[in-house]
Copies of this chain bind each other. A is one copy, B any other.
C-alpha cells in the first residue's frame, strides 16, 4: 500500500494507523475463511445478530478493567456519549439483557472491533480488527454447551485445513481459585495473582514468582506452593492426579471445577476431540468475567521465535491488548526481530464461560453463557503464509475476480451489440461473464485482458459464425491436444447450458487436483 503525499492538498494519503484496506488476493482468502467459519456455525444451529459499531459509553464502562483506556470514544458532538465496541461479547450480553424474552440462543457474530493499542501489523495485531464469536447462552445440563464450543473449534480448524496442527489449552477458573486458596493466597489477592500466572506463557516461573513475591507481596512459601501446581499440564492423567490431591479435595471451588472437567473430558471423548485438548494449569486468561472453563487455541507458529522452554505462545489473548508494562523488553525485541508473519501471532482463538455478565446489564435475570472468539487476522496471516509456501507447486493462475467467461469478438466491427446480448444471456443464467467496454476492441487486446485477469474461458464471436448460429469457446491454459485449447465451435442456441457444463467440468477437474482438507480457493482463483 503506497503512501503518497498528495500534491494538491499536502496531507498524507493513508489509512489511520493500525487499520488497513482489504483487497485483492487477501480479500479472497479472507472471504473464504469467513464463509468456511460461518457455514460451520450454521451447521451447529447458530444464528447471527448484528449490533451497532458504537455503543452508549456507559454500556462499555466497567467491563474491561484497566484495558478500558484502549476504548475509542466518539467526539461529543451533542447528544449521547458513545464509544466504538471493544469486543463482541459485551454487546451480545447487552442484547440478551434487552431481549429478555430470549432465554436460550446460539449466536455467532463476525465483525470489526476497535482498540487503541500499539499495532503490530505483520502479526495481525491491529487497531481495527475482526473478531468472530460463537456463544451459547442459556441454562442447560452442565458442560454440554462447553463441550460443543470445543467441538466446533476443532471442526472449524479442520475445515480451514489445519489438519490437526492445533491444540486447545484448557483450564477452569474454579480449579485455579481453589489452588490459590489451598496454597494460602489471601482472598483479595486472588485476581492479581491469577494475572501473574497468566504471564507464564511468555515468562519463566522464576520471573512470575518474583512478581508475586516482590510486586504483589505474596509470601514466598505460598508462591512456591502455587509453583508446584501451575507447571502441570496433561490430559485425563492430570485430572486424575488433581482429583487425588489431598489439599484440593477439601476445597469446594476446586472440587466443583474438577467435577466440571471430569464431565467435559467425558463429552470430549464422545465427540472425538479429546486428543486436541491440553489441560494446562498455567492458563489463567486475562478477562475478569470468566467464571468456569477457559481455553485458548494455539498452533505451530503461535509461539514466539525465541520461545520459553514450554513453547507456550507469546501472547495469550486472541485479541490484541496493551502490552503489560511488566513484559520484558527482550520479548518485545524478539517480536520485532521476526519478519515472519507465521511466528509469534499468539493464540488463534480463545474463550470461556461467563455466567454473570448478562446480569450486569439486566440487574435481574442471569443468563449463563459460554463462548469462543476466533482471531481472524491471525488465522488469516497463518493461512496466507501456508498458501504462499505451497503456491509454487500449484497452478500459476492469477485470477483477480470470479469471472468465468470473457466474451470477445474477432474482426473489425467489434460486434458490440452481439457481445452485449450474449453477456446478458450468460449473466441471466448466473454465469459470471464480461466483455470489453469498447466498441471495437482489438482481438489481441481482448486476449491480453483475459489473461491478465485470469478468466478461464473465452467465448469468441465472429461475423461468419454468428450468421450460422455458432460461436467458439476456448479455455485459457488448456493443455496441448485438448480441443478447448484450439477452440470448440458451439451453437448459440442453448449456449447457456453448454457453457455452464464446460465451466462445471473444469471446476471439478481443478478440485480433484486440490489436496483434501484445503480451503476451496480454486473457484475464487487463489490456487
Query: A residues bordering B, Cβ < 8 Å?
Result: 1-4, 6-9, 11-17, 19-24, 27, 31, 39, 42-56, 58-59, 72-77, 79-80, 82, 84, 94-95, 97-100, 106, 112, 114, 116, 128, 136, 138, 140-141, 144-145, 148, 151, 155, 267, 270-272, 359-364, 400-403, 416-417, 420-421, 424, 427-428, 430-434, 437-439
Contacts and interface: CB of A to CB of B under 8 A. Distances in A.
B98 A2 contact: yes
A98 B50 contact: no
B402 A42 contact: yes
A476 to B, nearest CB: 15
B128 A98 contact: no
Copy total for this chain: 2
A456 to B, nearest CB: 13
Contacts of A364: 7
B45 A21 contact: no
Given A43-B431, A77-B72, A144-B437, A98 B19 contact: no
A21 B6 contact: no
Nearest to A75: B73
Nearest to A266: B417
19 contacts: A4-B362, A7-B364, A13-B361, A15-B56, A16-B55, A17-B80, A20-B52, A31-B48, A39-B430, A42-B432, A43-B427, A45-B434, A46-B401, A47-B400, A54-B128, A72-B74, A138-B437, A140-B437, A271-B424
Contact of A44 (B50, B77, B427): B427
A116 B77 contact: yes
Contacts of A439: 141, 144
A74 B77 contact: no
A287 B2 CA distance: 29
Contacts of A59: 11, 13
Contacts of A416: 270
Given A13-B94, A53-B53, 12 more contacts: A2-B98, A15-B52, A16-B52, A20-B52, A21-B50, A21-B95, A23-B49, A43-B431, A52-B128, A53-B114, A73-B74, A74-B84
A95 B13 CA distance: 9
A6 B52 contact: no
A51 B21 contact: yes
B22 A49 contact: yes
Contacts of A97: 4, 6, 13
A20 B98 CA distance: 12
A470 B136 CA distance: 31
A306 to B, nearest CB: 31
A46 B79 CA distance: 39
A72 B45 CA distance: 37
A16 B56 contact: yes
Select the residue from A13, A19, A24, A72 with max chain B CB neighbours within 10 A. Answer: A13
Contacts of A363: 6-9
B432 A45 contact: yes
A22 B50 contact: yes
A55 B15 contact: yes
Contacts of A138: 437
Contacts of A13: 59, 94, 97-98, 361-362
B271 A420 contact: yes
Contacts of A267: 420
A76 B79 contact: no
A33 to B, nearest CB: 13
Given A363-B8, A431-B43, A99 B51 contact: no
A80 to B, nearest CB: 5
Nearest to A421: B270
Given A76-B75, A363-B8, A95 B23 contact: yes
Contact of A16 (B20, B50, B82, B360): B82
Contacts of A100: 2, 4
Contacts of A21: 49-52, 95, 98
Nearest to A11: B58
B362 A52 contact: no
The list of the 7 closest CB pairs from A to B, nearest first, reads A140-B437, A8-B363, A7-B363, A19-B52, A73-B75, A22-B50, A144-B437
Nearest to A48: B27
Contacts of A47: 23-24, 27, 400-402
Nearest to A1: B98
B14 A438 contact: no
Contact of A14 (B24, B48, B98, B271): B98
A42 B39 CA distance: 20
A54 B430 contact: no
Contacts of A99: 1-2, 23
Contact of A141 (B2, B4, B19, B437): B437
A232 B30 CA distance: 49
Contacts of A1: 98-99
A431 B432 CA distance: 28
